[in-house]
Amino acid sequence: MAGYIIKRLLSAIPVLLGISIIVFVIMAMIPGDPATAILGSYATPENVEKLNRDLGLDQPMIQRYFIWLGNMLHGDFGRSFSLNRAVLDEVLERFNATLVLAGTAFVICSLLGVAAGVISAARQFGLADKLITFVVLLGISIPSFFLGMMMILIFAVDLRWFPVSGMWPIYGDRDFTALIRHLTLPAIALAVVAAGVIARLSRSAMLEVLRQDFIRTARAKGVHERSVIWRHALRAAMVTIIPVLGIQAGFVLSGAVYIEIVFQWPGVGRMLVDAILTRDILLVQGGVVIVAACYVMFNIVVDVAQSLLDPRIKT
């Protein structure tokens, strides 16, 4: 097992390098003089000169990449000109808030999605199945930002159950209950789409598995139907569901950008959008690389979970 984890970690290195290359290449597509483009509205002559020096922008592409990569490996992602702050510090602080939001949403959508999918498959064509299918269809068709806005209107403005926006109260204690109150609406809004996708895939994975011969074997042994569904079938279906969960984690992280905007959540997504609109390219670059790297690490966790589940994967 330890060997497999080490192997997976090592295999992440080329992926991380690939990510840095892709980001570098995309950023190199920016037309015109790089320093001026990167600095955008902050392009004072001093800044341009400083950036040219820092990034070696007078050098050829390949060398610029390695200078940039070397700086990143030393924890230097450059400075944000719009915030006048080290990119790494800003991203890490913002990413924290995103993790709280996206993590909660991910847990919600995984549990709800898988459970709904299993029930839907076990009761195929029944009332529960039809109901779940309809809710799921609604969930995957509604834009998460629109859902978030509607939830604000109903639950925050009309019913006043939850605060309208933000992560913490402006006045009062920053304690756990305050966080939960602020987190509920955005986390649910964020979870809905992914839960829908997970439920659909879980349903079809379960239907696929329930037709397999080993399910008939379990029934021929006299295993209780509950155990056939939740033990035999679900375990086998998880082999297809877990990679989907990994992909959906990326979608939750992506959806967080919209939800952070709608709910004024101080996360990394909102930071990125602001950075793009102010053309704070270094902040975009650093934010993208750091978040993508975290996502790669998360996918390693998914792979390890998969190998624990499926003995056929060589460890």
Please, which of residues 143-202 interact with another protein by CB under 8 A?
Answer: 143, 145-146, 149-150, 152-153, 157, 164
Minimum gap (Å) between residue 52 Cβ and another protein: 19
Only segment of 63-71, 81-89, 179-187, 249-257 that touches another protein (CB under 8 A): 249-257
CB atoms within 10 A of CB 178: 15
Tell me phi and psi for residue 75, to 5 degrees.
85, 10
205 interacts with another protein by CB under 8 A: no
Strand partners of residue 79: 86
- Which tokens belong to 203? 């349903």
Q: Copy the structure tokens of residue 262.
A: 């709608």
Phi, psi of 12, deg, nearest 5 = -75, -25
Q: Does 272 bind another protein (CB under 8 A)?
A: yes
Whole-number Å distance between alpha carbons of 133 and 141: 12
Residues 29-88 that bind another protein (CB under 8 A): 29-30
Report how many residues bind another protein under the rule CB under 8 A: 85
Q: 167, 206, 244, 245: which one contacts another protein (CB under 8 A)?
A: 206
| CB-nearer residue toward another protein: 169 or 250 | 250
Q: What is d(CA 257, CA 274) in angstroms, rounded to the nearest whole number?
A: 11
Contact status: 112 vs another protein (CB under 8 A): no
Nearest CB to another protein, comparing residues 153 and 174: 153
What whole-number distance in Å separates Cα of residue 295 and Cα of residue 153? 33
If the CB atoms of residues 74 and 312 are measured against another protein, the closer one turns out to be 312
Residue 53 CB contacts under 8 Å (≥ 6 apart), including other chains = none
Question: Cβ 54 to another protein, closest distance in Å?
Answer: 19
Residue 313, interface with another protein (CB under 8 A)?
no
